Structures are given as C-alpha cells and as structure tokens.
Structure 1
Amino acid sequence: MMGKISLIGLGDDGCVSLSSRSINEIAMAESLAGAERHLAFFPQFSGEIIEFTSGLNAYISRIIEQAKTQDVCVLASGDPLFFGLGSRLIAAVQAAQLPIEVMVLPNVSSVQLACAKTLMSSNDLVTLSVHGRALKGLVAKLQQYDAVALLTDHENTPVVVAKYLAQFDESEWSVAVCENLAGCNERIGHYSITELIQLDEQHFSRLNVMLLRRGNQPYWGGYTQHCADEAYHSRSPLNGLITKASVRAIAVAKLGLRRDSVMWDIGAGSGSIGIEAAKQTWQGQVFSVECNPDCHPLIESNQRRHKVDNLTLIKQKAPLGLAELPRPNAIFIGGTRGQVDPIIDVAINALHPKGTLILSAVTLDSVAQFYQLCQQRQLQFEVLMLQHAHSQPLAQYQRYQAENPIHLFVITKEDNS
C-alpha cells in the first residue's frame, strides 16, 4: 500500500506557527523530512528521519522512495509552493507515475511576513529571486516594476545585490532588509543602495528578504523603448555603425520578440538593435556579437546607459562563438565581414522553428547576394525596402534630408527546416 506525502509550511518560530491540522499530520507521520533547523523543532518525533543536507534531487528521491510504503511529512519554510520545495517535489512525484497522494499545508510566506513587518502593501508587489541564480538580468526585470520583493542567498546577499545595482546606476531605491522573520533574532533594517554598499557582504543573516521600493529611479535610464540615435554612443565619423532609429524600430518589431525570447545581434556595431531588443525581451537574453575591438566599449557603455543587463557581448568574429550560445528565437544580422554564407548556415540551423532572421542590406551588391542566398536555400522570406527622410532647416525654411535606403530580408524558419 502506498503512503502519502504531507508538505508542511513552517515558520521560524517553529511549532507555534502551525495549525492543529499540520501538527496532527506531523504526529501521524511515519517519517519526517526536513532541514536540520526544521527538524530541531520536533526532538520528540520517534519515526524515521530524512535530513536534507545537500543535493536536492537525491533528497526528493529519498522522500518518494519512503512514501512508497510510509506516510511522510516534509517540513519546509513558509509556503512550500512559493519559490520553495513544493513544485520540484510534486513534479518528481508526477514524473515517477506513482499513486502517491501529496497534500500541501502552507504557512505564511516570508514575503507576506516582510510586508506585515514593514507595513508595506503587497497589492502591487512582484517577487523575484536570486536564490541560487545569477544576478545577470535582474536590472532589466526591475525596469518593469515599482515594488519588488527579492529572495536572496548566502552568495547573492543584500550587499552584493546593492553593489550590482550600483554598477548600472540603479541607486534610487529604498530597501528594507528583513532577517530571521518570526524567529528569535528577527531584525528589520531600512537602507538606501548607497548605505548598503558600505556594509560587509556577509553583514546580514542568510535568512532574509529584501523589499525594494522605487524612488526617483527612471525606467531604462530615462530612455524609451525606441530611442533617437543620439541616445547611443557610436563611432565617428558620420555617427557610424548604428542602425538609424526608424529602421531600428521596424527591424525590432519584425523580430517578433516575446518577453522571454533569446535573440542574437550579429555585427552589433554600437549595439542599438540588441539594446532595444533587450528591452522587449526583458525576461530573456540578447547576445551582441561584434569582433571590432573599437566597438566593444561603446556597446558596454550603451548597455549600462540603457540598463539592459540581460545583454551579453560576444567579442568574436561570427560564425565563431555562435555554436556555444543558447538557441535563439530571433536573429538580426547587421554585418558579416564577408562571412555571410557560414553565418547564415549556423544561424538558420540554430534558429527555433517559426523564428525570425533579419538580414540588413545597405549596398546593391549585398541586396543581390542576399536574394540569391535566400533563393538557393529555399528560405521563406520577404524583403522590405525602407527609405525615409527627416526635416532639416535651410535658412528660414525646412527641407527634407533623405537617408540611404535599407533593405531588410525578413526570413521565417519553417517548422520542418
């Protein structure tokens, strides 16, 4: 006969945080699983103990194996289904295709406690986590919100997080650090980013939640989704190596990006296409590939300026380095340095089905070359010829100044290609 798994949320104040139903489940269980600090609240438990020391997969496997014959009670912090053990455990039980019943009895989450302690409304609060995750991409996510709860860990401490935000001039946030909530050593502190970066990186308890509230911090560094050319540092003369604003807006729109897309910008120049793409795919990743060392500081400067830390600069000549990148949903190719055929072969092969690849052609030679390339490879494509003009003063009058026409080859990868 199969046992069952009862997943019990526990506060840092131990047994007093539990409902009578949770206490009864623990008392009736034949095995009790949890971390050392959770198990310490139940020294009287006489059944089998499954302690979580390290290796989450192995821990979950032990719980499921035990639940084949026994009722197992699993202790977890707060709400187990809120950035906790619950989702992984339930998925593992379902994957095992065993008739094991799983019951969840949640407690108050750490974020709920933090809001209560700081009297901060959670109506518009969004929770993000850097617990066991890289900080990269956090700044781009913060551009979407005014109030954020941030779950940290022993490496990405509140001080480390603050130093990372300061690198992108994200200093206009008020921060509450809530430590050991509901425990004996509970502590609530209020800081600015500037104050936090002065502290030792291990100043706070490992059990903490950061609450961030936007002050005068502008979104995306004060720039809009699509910007004028002057919003970017670019090479001289002639404001070179930048796709003009009107073309850039159409090209990025044609890429069909979602908020979690992966995008490659090959021949990035000053990085403007990748940066505006990164603002759209703020939960995803953008990889700007550029081999010209003169462009690298420009791209990095523009990245910080526009707060797109979800963009990664690849300092190689394509197609080198492309094979190591995550598979893209969209690709923009603004420059090939004579390597168009091998770049296209790698790019089309890597692109997700129904993904979009855009080739930008400035010269008549490249237009003819790209057209033949698409025909030879039997690619599904359309060509946009973009030509625009903007007003310029002429004495007391206004005249039109025409820009060079640009051809965009918009290629859609078929399902079976």
Structure 2
Amino acid sequence: MPSASGSGPALVTVVGIGADGWRGLSGAGRAALRSAQVLLGGPRQLALVPAPQRPPVTVAWPSPLLAHLPRLLDRYRGQHVVVLASGDPMHFGIGGTLVRLLGADRVRAVPHPSAVSLACARLGWPIEEVDVISAVGRPVQLIHPWIQPERRLLVLSAGTHTPGEVARLLTARGFGPSTCMVLEQLGGERERLHTATAQDWAETELDPLNVVAVHCRAEQDTAPLPRVPGLPDDAYQHDGQLTKREVRAITLARLGPLPGQLLWDVGAGSGSIAIEWARTHPQCRAIAVEKHPRRAQRIAVNAAALGVPGVQVVTGTAPGALAGLDPPDAVFVGGGVTADGLVDLVWAALRPGGRLVVNAVTVESEAVLAGWHARFGGELTRITISRAAPVGGFTGWRPMMPVTQWVVHRR
C-alpha cells in the first residue's frame, strides 16, 4: 500500500461503534464526532449515527477500499477526519491500516468494546483462554490450526454464510460434536443467540453481523493435528515426494520459524516444510517453489486443508523461478540441489541472520553439500531413521533412506 506520509488529513480519529449506535458511544467518541469536519465509514456504521450528529461532509467507503483509501484521505488534506469502525478499530480493523498508511502520530483510536469482549462477556469465557480468528476478507480454513480438543474459538464472521462454513469444516475434521454458538447484533436491541453442535447445524436465517463461538470437541477416533512440526505423513496428499515426519521435524527445528519471517521451500514436493513453517505462527510466511504443475496444485490443496491457505505456490524450476521473490529469512532446499547456480542464488538472497538448510539423499547432491560446507562452514549431519514393520510373524526395523543435512547461518 502506498504511503500517504506528508499528505492527507492532519488527524484521523478512528471511533469504534457498536450495534447500540450513538447511545453506546463513550464521551470521547461523541466529542470526536462533534468536532469532525469529515466523517468516513461503511454504510452500516454511518447509519448508526443520527443525522444531526454528523459533520457537514459524510462519505461512505468506496470499493475496493484499499485501492481508493490513499486518494480519499488526500482529498481532505489538513482537516480533522473521523472514521467509524466496528468495535475496537485496532483489532482486525481499519485502525491498523490507517496507522500503516499515515503513521501512528496522525491516527488516534477511540475503541468501543469489541465483538470479542462482548461475546466473552455473554458466554462467561475469559478472553485470555480464547483463540480469535477473523474470517472477514479471509478464508475460513484459517481456523484449522486452532481446532484442538476442548479449545474455545471465536470466529469473526464475514456474513450469514460463515457459521455454516465453520460447522461444515469442524464436522469434516472429526469435530462434529463441537458446540457452535452464533451471537448476532452483540450489544444491540436485536441481540440473539443460536446454539447447536457442528454436526447438527442447520442453515437458518442469520443476521450478517455475527460472531461464531466454538467449544471444540472431537469424535472419539479423531487424531488432533498439533501446531508443532512433524505432522503424520498421511495428513498430506502426496505422490511419494514428501519429507517424512521425523526428518521434517528435525528440518523445521533447524530452520527456526519466527513470527513475521519468510521461508523459501525450494523443490517443495507436497509442500510439507512450507506448510508446517506457516502453521507455527499466523505471521509466518512461506513460498513453496515446485516445478511439477500437478504437485504445485497439490501443495495448494494441502495448505488449505491444514489451515495455511496463504502459503504462496510458485510453479517453475529453480533457480529461474526464484527471480523477483521477496528476500527470505530462511531457505530449505529439498530438491534440485545439483541445479547449476541454485545454492549460490539462495545464499545470496538470504537476509543477514538467515538460515539455509539443505537435505540430500543422493551421492551427487551430497558432493555438492560437501563442497559448500568446505567453503562456508556450517554443520553437516547424517540422519538415519528406522521404523518398525512386520517381518513374517515378527517385527523388525526397516531403515528409511539416510538424509544428509547441511545447515548454515548467514552472518
């Protein structure tokens, strides 16, 4: 988003407003509206303010908002603009966007109790024990990593369709017994609550302004999928090109996912490394690069099914396919290490402090790693895993292919 620093309004006050409208505003919120020269907001929020209380200039948001916002703000240069937002504007709201655009010194937030606060108050749920996921402008699949036995979730709805989508997703994951509660028009005169289990959820007429509360309960034979690396291999669709769970857990530990950082997963196969990197924290970003189109499509399917649909999939052959990508904080090379120039390129692309992890299973790729280890140092490790399997009427150990792993940090 382009910066409007140095232009636009002298001050933007973002006032949170609830379904109770004008009467529910704090004194600070009312004072901001009375002093405003320009009022911006969505049609629903604007309708909550009585006409006598609106400033002379009142403008409904254009669509698409983000594309038009810098130009719209610049139109009211030097004036005091008030923006209406639902609930707490700094919680999945317009407040954060305005701060990024104008700077924190030119944005003042006057929050109203958020939908999260109101829902927890109605349900008797301590906020610190609740996981909050927004489905507003985001895929509902984002709730997958948060679906764990006995966890409590609040899903901020995108409209009337969200509760049904949540219920179907829970049921498909084996969490059909979960209790789903839809809270409509929180804080308003038309506040209402609907309750059913996910598996028994029936489509009903709902208000678009709703929050979905979920108390997760699993069916008896449902295996949870934790957020720590090393998911079961059968959690993925794959054609055999999959970093096995034991090696995957070791690899992710060496990559060291950190919030806000970007991973390149080169030769991604089924996408397991990129996906489990992204699952560790909502702000972890990943790009999976895969030359086979069918595998690339499978990566996208796996990412959505495991709750990280934001994993970017690039179909192409490295190193050429890496051109123009954002610089990474970590790189994993699981395939194609012998390609000319690949290791040189990813090493040059790494940010300072970045980590490079390369796994090799062939003699030729091991030779490449040995050469790079001699030049740049780091650590070489041989990983050998054996799994128990039937041998006639007994049980024996079946070794997997050994993996040579090179790990190096860029200073």
TM-score (norm 2): 0.75
How big is each residue's C-alpha offset from its partner over 1:233-272, in whole Å with a ceiling of 9 and x where there is no partner? 776xxxx655455443322211122254433433445655
Task: Name the residue aligned to 1:252.
Answer: 252
Match of 2:207 among 202, 205, 208: 205
Trace 1:336-415 onto structure 2 (pairs within 5 A): 336=336, 340-372=339-371, 378-387=375-384, 405-414=402-411
What aligned pairs does 1:138-177 form with structure 2 within 5 A after superposition? 138-142=143-147, 146-154=151-159, 157-164=162-169, 168-169=173-174, 171-177=176-182
* Aligned equivalents of 2:171, 2:325: Cα separation in 1: 28
Q: 2: distance between equivalents of 1:296 and 1:62?
A: 39
Q: Distance in 2 between matches of 1:295 and 1:107?
A: 47
Task: Note if 1:68 corresponds to 2:78.
Answer: yes
Q: How does 1:86-235 map to 2 (within 5 A)?
A: 86-94=95-103, 103-142=108-147, 146-154=151-159, 157-164=162-169, 168-169=173-174, 171-196=176-201, 199=203, 203-216=205-218, 220-221=224-225, 225-226=229-230
Residues 138 and 309 in structure 1, CA contact (< 8 A), matched pair in contact too: no
Partner residue in 1 for 2:262? 262
Q: Is the 8 A contact 1:267 1:335 kept in 2?
A: yes
The 2-side partners of 1:4 and 1:291 are apart by 49
1:83 to 2:92 alignment: yes
Counterparts of 1:58 and 1:296, CA distance in 2: 34
Rate the CA distance shift 1:357–1:118 in 2: closer, same or farther, 3 A. Answer: same
Mark the CA change 1:271 to 1:181 in structure 2 (over 3 Å): closer, same or farther.
closer
**For residues 22-75 of structure 1, what are the alpha-carbon distances to aligned partners after superposition, in whole Å with 9 as ceiling and x for unaligned?**
434433444444333444432124742231231357557655764725x54443
Contact 2:149 2:216 in 1 (8 A): no
Going from structure 1 to structure 2, the CA distance change for 1:191 and 1:342 (only over 3 Å counts) comes to farther
Distance apart, 1:293 and its partner CA: 7.7
Compared CA separation, residues 165 and 340, structure 1 to 2 (3 A): farther
* SS of 1:12 mapped into structure 2: coil
Cα distance in structure 2, aligned partners of 1:303 and 1:47: 47
AA aligned opposite 2:181 = A
Q: Is the 8 A contact 2:175 2:216 kept in 1?
A: no
1:27 to 34, 37, 44: 34
Structure 2: how far apart are the matches of 1:142 and 1:249? 21
Q: CA–CA distance in 1 between the matches of 2:128 and 2:76? A: 40
C-alpha displacement at 1:124, in angstroms? 0.9
Q: Tell me how far 1:17 sits from its aligned partner.
A: 0.9
Residues 57-115 of structure 1, C-alpha deviations (whole Å, 9 max, x = no match): 7557655764725x5444332222222232333444437x7xx6x54432221222223
**How many angstroms apart in 1 are the aligned matches of 2:164 and 2:325?**
31
| Aligned 8 A contact 2:157 2:211 in 1 | yes
8 Å CA contact 1:175, 1:210 repeated in 2 = yes
Q: Quick one: which amino acid aligns to residue 112 of structure 1?
A: S
Aligned partners of 1:380, 1:107: CA distance in 2, in Å?
Answer: 55
Deviation by residue 1:346-400 (Cα, 9 ceiling, x = unmatched): 433443332222222223332223333566xx54533223346677899999987
Matched residue SS, 1:16: helix
Which structure: larger Rg? Answer: 1
Identity %: 28
One-letter amino acid matched to 1:146: R
> Would the alpha carbon gap of residues 281 and 340 (structure 1) be closer, same or farther in structure 2, given more than 3 Å must change?
farther
Relative distance call for 1:369 and 1:213 in structure 2 (3 A) is same
Q: 1:311 to 1:142 in 2, by over 3 A?
A: farther
Query: Do the aligned partners of residues 120 and 320 (structure 1) sit closer, same or farther apart at CA in structure 2, a change above 3 Å counting?
Result: same
More deviation, 391-400/356-365: 391-400
> Residues 290 and 178 of structure 1: is their aligned pair in 2 closer, same or farther, counting only changes over 3 Å?
same
Aligned-residue Cα RMSD (Å) equals 4.4
- Alignment length, in residue pairs? 398
CA distance in 1, matches of 2:24, 2:53: 18
Q: Contact 1:318/1:339 (CA < 8 Å) preserved in 2?
A: no
**Number of the residue aligned with 1:43:** 51
Partner of 2:330: 330
Distance 1:307 1:33 in 2: 34
Deviation at 1:129, TM superposition (A): 1.4
